[in-house]
Structure 1
Amino acid sequence: MSNDELRTAADAVLARLVGDPAARLREDQWRAIRALVAQRRRALVVQRTGWGKSAVYFVATALLRENGGGPTVIVSPLLALMRNQVDAAARAGIHARTINSANPEEWATVQQEIGAGTVDVLLVSPERLNNPDFRDNVLPELAAATGLLVVDEAHCISDWGHDFRPDYRRLRTMLADLPPGVPVLATTATANARVTADVAEQLGTGAAAATDGTDDTGSALVLRGPLDRSSLSLGVLALPDAAHRLAWLAEHLDALPGSGIVYTLTVAAAEEVTAYLRQRGHTVASYTGKTENAERQQAEEDLLANRVKALVATSALGMGFDKPDLGFVVHLGSPASPIAYYQQVGRAGRGVEHAEVLLLPGREDEAIWQYFASLAFPPEEHVRRTLEVLAGADRPLSLPALEPLVELRRNRLETMLKVLDVDGAVKRVKGGWLSTGEPWAYDTERYAWVNRQRSAEQEAMREYVRTTGCRMEFLRRQLDDEEAAPCGRCDNCAGARFDTEVSGAALDRARGELERPGVEVEPRRMWPTGLTAVGISLKGRIPASEQAATGRALGRLSDIGWGNRLRPMLAAHAPDGPVPDDVARAVVDVLADWARGPGGWASGAPDAMARPVGVVTMASLNRPRLIQSLGARISEVGRLPLLGSIEYAPGHEPARTPRSNSAQRLKVLDGALHLPTDLSLAVKAADGPVLLVDDQTDTGWTLAVAARLLRRAGAAEVLPLVLALPG
């Protein structure tokens, strides 16, 4: 087929894909398709969101399949993108299927369809690539049959980037197993020059990449275009506090064009903002990493159909969600990276002439950045300890079995193992993880560089807020866009389109919502698995007679309301002192709401719990005055006796207790807490429920162990009351 004939056929597929008989490929879309279909090359496409990267691989798929090629395999990071892609493929007559964590019941059928040759496109989540069964039994046959490999959101491959995902690096194995001449396409909208080079290298396109736009068929093709989005009008609104931001959003949401997304930095904030906006009459839905899959899918459909004004979302809705007429993106809080910010705002204005993009930064942003930064690759001693444990095991160790033996929480341990797997030091097999025995070096220099990069990105976000220059130009320069120039549309170029005024009534309502204290504290009901490995003979369900009841906290540290008050007070180096009056009053309000609420001791319900008969405080070396004064205030206001304090046994230092996984936490707590004799006698004599007071709870295990001691001493119930939950 000649180039002209191929171009005509490609345009015809595009017309079916977009439903427009007059549609024609962009020049760079055509160049990428020609490289893949006619020249069977590898290509890396770095283009702005909305440019049409998916059109490249769908058109290429149709043309390759017409010529007898095997199915296209698309490695895609998010379910939202997968659902969009399946629908888009169908419009072009392309049969697409998915294999991901949300549809395990369909995997066997999908694999049969692949074997029968009826699947044109298979979308696979990166996590599947190292699932032992998929990797060993499905992937080899799939790689042998693949007609085109597509790596979507390819910046995830690079740990220099803002959204590194170690599962993506398993693509090296698949690339190595591809038969000669199978084309490969990598796409992303959010890669600066360093990430682009790293992705190209990891895809095996680095040394031979033609970045000058040439069509040398002996090299890979890199197509990088300008990143301006002419529909986006960027702006920043600097508001005094969280109440002003919430009030502004409630008053101005309806004035924003069409429907859109309100991004928050944490799950707690997303749920908090969603609840408040609903109270104010707005039709919104929450979308976070904790949202059930069915609810996520319904929320996506509601936004696509404009049945909601906005999704209030975390970065779980970051990549791949495709709604061309999305009219606005508002951020309540700054992301830690301008590249991540560009990616998220790029959801808006893809098929409309004008979309509003607003950033409302908050003073809690940097504390949240620091928290997520703390989840980076672990220190070398933790990595070495994990490798030692695996090397000494006589069988594969699952995550639950390995977790008690190392000082890492489950999600951080799993991420670390995936990196070690890619590096060849460990291997995932059925039943868990094995040591390969291969030598491994901790890349101190690389991890330090990545940390410095993160710090530089955070400073760039501060500068984005402060800049008096063009905001779009600023973002484009952060992505190394050589064509960056003033946009003429942002608030600094064209003047602000929104003022910061909010009515007194709206502000009062927002303050009332944010200052409303009280969050439930769910008790621990099951002992963690693997405690026998650390010498503790506890397992299974905690007996009901030894459990704490559902407790209360004043707020979450990640809240945009009480979190802003509690974070500095409970910071690691904050001075100890008596509980502030406003905090004490709020805790009393929490107690009053608790008492009057469902099942509360003042609710009048037939099955209501009995009224507390006393107050017990937790010992602390860090904040003894704070906790003791809080217990005393509750005792005074509630007219309850202060029964005493749970103490640490001699030789146990609570400040050294690791913030690691549950088994390691319990290992340190085992034997560390005890009830003084006078407290045991007082609890037994009181003969009723007691309030257990502490400053904050992280894992919940200190409260669980303390509650067990109190219940065994005769407390009818233990009602935990703390100032803060972590998030």
Structure 2
Amino acid sequence: MVAMTSRDDAQKILEQLAGPTAVLRDDQWTAIEALVVQRRRALVVQRTGWGKSAVYFIAAKLLRERGHGATVIVSPLLALMRNQVAAAQRAGVRAATINSGNVTEWDEIHQRVNNGDLDVLLVSPERLNNPDFRDNVLPALAADAGLVVVDEAHCVSDWGHDFRPDYRRIRTLLAELGSEVPVLATTATANDRVVNDVAAQLGVGGAGNVPGGGLDTLVLRGGLDRESLRLSVIQAGGGAQRTAWLAEHLESLPGSGIVYTLTVAQAHDVAALLREHGHEVAAYTGSTENAEREQLEADLLGNRVKALIATSALGMGFDKPDLGFVVHLGAPSSPIAYYQQVGRAGRSTASAEVVLLPGREDQDVWRYFASVAFPSETMVRNVIGELEPDRPLSTPALEPLVDLGRTRLEMVLKVLDVDGAVRRVKGGWLATGQSWVYDEVRYRQLDEARRREQQAMLDYQSTDECRMTFLRRQLDDPDLSDGERCGRCDNCAGAHFSVAVNDEATALVQERLMRPGVEIAPRKQWPSGLAKLGIELSGRIGDGPEPGRAIGRLTDLGWGPRLRRLLDEPDGDVPPDVVQAAVKVLAAWDWGTRPTAVLALDSDSHPVLIASLARELARLGRLTDLGVLRYAAGRRPVSAANSAYRVAALDGAWSPESALIAAAGGPVLLVDDLTDTGWTLTMAARVVADAGAPAVLPLVLAATS
């Protein structure tokens, strides 16, 4: 006999999840009833803290009690998964996760799925594109699932702020479900366009209740006002002033919180500076190891740190209800992304501070990330053309055949896989032979939408209207009324903080940020597939440069703006402040053997700048001036993004004066303006080493990251 489900049953489970004082709201019960009793599909668009996870955990347990299979939750971030597994266990729900952080447990978890020993399985979207999981585990899940949940469903849409190609694989999962399996899609950050696109991708309805999969679809879309958040924008000035403001005000912010930066380099630099000022903080980025991430999340949850200085890697799903503040040192490129990140704060507190400290350089970072968007049709068709229908080609093997870097190539392959033009199998990728259409109109519209969102983020900084109202309008909040004001933000209630920063504190921060010197790690391995391009290089690099140095990164809060201006200006002699910075870098360099000579690399954009820097360093350091390593006749500028293509283009690019280099008699300081991939320095170092230099020490003005 199938158990009946009542609101009282749901209330009891909620109390196990959230404590004895938690009360199930009407709209939460509406969603649970639709999934458990009516077996419908639902799209829930509700603000952060509304209780979306409570809906699907309660529904999962009730469905199990009624004899249905396990719930499958597609969840995007490890932080989210860890929090959700812990929450499920509090309610007596047997939950496990399959993701990149627990590879050694996959076989055991697969067996528990097969044995019916799990109530909930959380799956990262990347797992859905794994051949073994897709072919051997996914069919059983689709056949027996009691409920399928797509959390952070805006990731399905390339109109959303965090598009992930792997998420679109979910369409295949849903297509294989029986008509009786309910589906729940949830997100907190979606405007009308994203909602409708998610609905189309997942088949769960759009602007209202519409038929879907033979069943009526429930759409629950609520208001986005966050009554605890006090929004402020502080125009404090340049990187030094903004960082000094943060160092001065951090302890006065309530509780513990998150300070977001736009780049990994900024997160580490700001964390180091704040620690020097006595603040208990740590950096958290996409490059942080999984075990360290887990420890840092626990430290923040336990209030053992004042703040994590983080990139967007600490975002969706991190659940600390009493998070007291969110500060942005630099603005995200989208109001939607901004709302999502600030939504981490004040979920169970009466008040939380949200502060934006924008900088002029923010737009440079936006432009960089926009530059790695979906490539042109020609480049995509080159990828399809290199694949065969019956012989798999791995991503590393495909990379040297197409002019795409690894990250963009993987994105293209995933999109093509979802679209049916290629298929991932064990050993790599196959062409399916199916026709494929490049949606140029959509990609152009995406680019235009991205520019509108960037302008909206600039407008947010300068608006005199209610800031919460501004953000809610950007997300098409259905509950927003004309002229509504929150009464809490700086535009409604007056400034909460002084913009002024102590001059002495700013000077100290400026001195710290302008401390030159960034290590450049040398390339250690040749890219695979060079033989296909006629280059006989493979394996470890034995004659490359030593670890080098840059004055700073283009993304630095200190040297970044100065170096960007320098490289944007017309070519000319090196300025004195840059020479002084280079001398400081050399003075602090812990090399084994001091260089005896200096050699400038030829340049298409800054030949005078680089040559004059090399001359000055030779004069001040009493080094032999070897002049300029000139380009060979007929050499063409390197424009390739792919590593193998870059190496091939750089092979034979220079004509060295071999005798002069050999006469240096010791290590050579190799001077350039900018390093990005590191291949120019690597290939030039081989030329200099072949000419007789016992070691090559790269020194560049700027590193891109």
Deviations 1:122-149 (A, max 9, x none): 0000000010111111111111111100
Q: Distance in 2 between matches of 1:331 and 1:713?
A: 50
Match of 1:614 in 2: 597
Report the Cα offset of residue 5 of structure 1.
5.3
Q: Distance in 2 between matches of 1:525 and 1:6?
A: 63
Q: Distance in 1 between matches of 2:213 and 2:229?
A: 36
Q: Distance in 1 between matches of 2:215 and 2:119?
A: 28
* 2:444 counterpart SS class: helix
Match of 1:590 in 2: 585
Deviations 1:560-615 (A, max 9, x none): 111111113224xx421111221111111111111xx4xx3xxxxxxxx2221111
Match of 2:7 in 1: 7
Q: Distance in 2 between matches of 1:109 and 1:99?
A: 10
Question: 1:215·1:221 contact (CA, 8 Å) conserved in 2?
Answer: no
Q: Distance in 2 between matches of 1:207 and 1:44?
A: 8
Match of 1:723 in 2: 701
Kindly provide the amino acid, as one letter, of the partner of residue 267 in structure 1.
V
Q: Distance in 2 between matches of 1:117 and 1:275?
A: 48
Kindly provide the amino acid, as one letter, of the partner of residue 674 in structure 2.
Q
Q: Distance in 1 between matches of 2:86 and 2:101?
A: 17
Match of 2:645 in 1: 664
Determine whether 1:524 maps to 2:561: no
Deviations 1:327-352 (A, max 9, x none): 00000000000000000000000011
Q: Distance in 2 between matches of 1:293 and 1:197?
A: 34
Match of 2:255 in 1: 258
Kindly provide the amino acid, as one letter, of the partner of residue 71 in structure 2.
T
Report the Cα offset of residue 83 of structure 1.
0.2
Q: Distance in 1 between matches of 2:490 and 2:158?
A: 33
Determine whether 1:415 maps to 2:414: no
* 1:357 counterpart SS class: strand
* 2:316 counterpart SS class: coil
Number of equivalent positions? 702
Kindly provide the amino acid, as one letter, of the partner of residue 666 in structure 1.
V
Determine whether 1:244 maps to 2:241: yes
Question: 2:393·2:430 contact (CA, 8 Å) conserved in 1?
Answer: yes
Match of 1:230 in 2: 227
Match of 2:79 in 1: 80
Report the Cα offset of residue 395 of structure 1.
1.6
Kindly provide the amino acid, as one letter, of the partner of residue 166 in structure 1.
P
Match of 1:559 in 2: 556
Q: Which of 265, 271, 275 pairs up with 1:274?
A: 271
Match of 2:289 in 1: 292
Gaps of 5+ in 1: 601-608
Match of 2:332 in 1: 335
Cα RMSD of the aligned pairs, angstroms, is: 1.7
Q: Distance in 2 between matches of 1:216 and 1:233?
A: 43
Q: Distance in 1 between matches of 2:235 and 2:458?
A: 12
* 1:155 counterpart SS class: helix
Where do residues 601-640 of structure 1 align in structure 2 (5 Å cutoff)?
A: 609-640=592-623
Kindly provide the amino acid, as one letter, of the partner of residue 255 in structure 1.
S
Tell me the TM-score normalized by structure 2.
0.98
Question: 1:274·1:285 contact (CA, 8 Å) conserved in 2?
Answer: yes
Question: 2:203·2:212 contact (CA, 8 Å) conserved in 1?
Answer: no
Match of 1:221 in 2: 218
Question: 1:209·1:219 contact (CA, 8 Å) conserved in 2?
Answer: no
Report the Cα offset of residue 195 of structure 1.
0.5
Q: Distance in 2 between matches of 1:430 and 1:518?
A: 44
Deviations 1:636-657 (A, max 9, x none): 1111121122121111122xx1
Q: Distance in 2 between matches of 1:394 and 1:195?
A: 37
Report the Cα offset of residue 180 of structure 1.
2.0
* 2:430 counterpart SS class: strand
Q: Distance in 2 between matches of 1:69 and 1:658?
A: 56
Report the Cα offset of residue 659 of structure 1.
4.1
Q: Distance in 2 between matches of 1:159 and 1:124?
A: 21
* 2:205 counterpart SS class: coil
Q: Distance in 2 between matches of 1:437 and 1:298?
A: 47
Distance 1:420 1:24, change over 3 A: same
Where do residues 33-432 of structure 1 align in structure 2 (5 Å cutoff)?
A: 33-206=32-205, 209-210=208-209, 218-391=215-388, 395-432=391-428
Question: 1:246·1:510 contact (CA, 8 Å) conserved in 2?
Answer: yes
Q: Distance in 2 between matches of 1:94 and 1:73?
A: 13
Report the Cα offset of residue 427 of structure 1.
0.8
Distance 1:2 1:28, change over 3 A: farther
Question: 1:407·1:658 contact (CA, 8 Å) conserved in 2?
Answer: no
Question: 1:520·1:550 contact (CA, 8 Å) conserved in 2?
Answer: yes
Q: Distance in 2 between matches of 1:303 and 1:345?
A: 16
Distance 1:510 1:208, change over 3 A: closer
Distance 1:683 1:154, change over 3 A: same
Match of 1:16 in 2: 16
Kindly provide the amino acid, as one letter, of the partner of residue 387 in structure 2.
L
Distance 1:80 1:207, change over 3 A: closer
Q: Distance in 2 between matches of 1:41 and 1:329?
A: 37
Question: 1:287·1:314 contact (CA, 8 Å) conserved in 2?
Answer: yes
Match of 2:445 in 1: 449
* 2:545 counterpart SS class: coil
